[in-house]
Amino acid sequence: MSSAAQTAANRANSQQSTGPKTDAGKATSSHNAVKSALTGQTVLLPTDDVPAYQRLVQTLIDLHRPITYQEKILVQSLADTEWRLLRIPTLESGIYALGRHELAGLHPECPDPQLRSALIETEIYLKYERHLKNLSLQETRLLRMREKDLARLRQIQAERQEAQENAKKQKPEKTVPASAVDLFNEARRAAAKNPSLDISGIGFEFSNRETEPRASASATASKAA
């Protein structure tokens, strides 16, 4: 049991712990809430937009409507792959922006501004060629991964839907009365056997006034035949 002094101290400490206050701390805290359902690891970089990522995940869930655990894992993989693909153009632009900053002073002897700009762009590519090629390889690999996961997801969902359709076909079909009169006669016979039975409670929506004349005419025709 905690003493009154300990309880007061705990309350004071809790009031001081109000969470991260800096922008960096708040960003880290928000990213901690985004975990992979499979590995439990954070799937975003510190600079990534958490709400945008969550919207992407929800969009793919709405599009593919996963049901089983395996379907949900594949949709999550599609979302993560798509997010990384969207990141590549930003990284490529960042490399060129860095290169322009570092190499802005090259070729001052060139009088033509457009030619000088083209020369600098070429210098940037040559300097960061390995990084740019790695980004291209990464993009190709991610595209193949997305295509593979999407094909697998479609296959699994098609198999599940086929199994559901086969299960429906195997169920015995219920006999449906041919008309409202038949339904009324069945309900009236059931009520005769059980006077306390409420016909309206079994889904019959026509009144006696509407149905009894037709039922009588049907019974008369049956006797005449």
DSSP string across 33-97 = T-B-TTT--B-S-TTS-HHHHHHHHHHHHHHH---SHHHHHHHHHHHHHHHHHHHHHHHHHHHHH
Q: What is the pLDDT of residue 44?
A: 83
What SS3 class is residue 190?
helix
Q: Are 34 and 52 in contact, with CB atoms under 8 Å apart?
A: no
Predicted pLDDT at 114 = 94
Q: Which two tokens stand for residue 2?
A: 């905690």
Position 223: which residue type? K
Which tens digit of pLDDT belongs to each residue from 38-71? 334 556 888 889 999 999 999 999 999 999 999 9
Contact 60, 75 (CB under 8 A): yes
Q: Considering Cα of 119, then 124, then 130, then 134, what sign does the dihedral take?
A: negative
Per the model's pLDDT, the better-predicted residue between 187 and 25 turns out to be: 187
What is the residue-averaged pLDDT of the chain?
77
Q: Which pLDDT score is estimated for 145? A: 96
Judge whether residue 115 has pLDDT over 80.
Answer: yes
Annotated domain spans of the chain? 35-170
Alpha carbon distance 148, 195 (integer Å) = 64
* pLDDT: which is higher, 186 or 145: 145
Structure token digits, residue 75: 């949709």
Tell me how far apart the alpha carbons of residues 106 and 126 are, in angstroms, rounded to a whole number.
14
| Residue 27: count of CB within 10 angstroms of its CB | 16
Helix (H) and strand (E) counts in the chain? 8, 0
Percent helix, percent strand, percent coil in the chain, to nearest 5 = 75, 0, 25
Q: How far apart are CA 203 and CA 141, in angstroms?
A: 59
Please check the confidence at residue 6 and state whether its pLDDT lies above 50. yes
Least confident residue range of 90-99, 114-123, 212-221 = 212-221
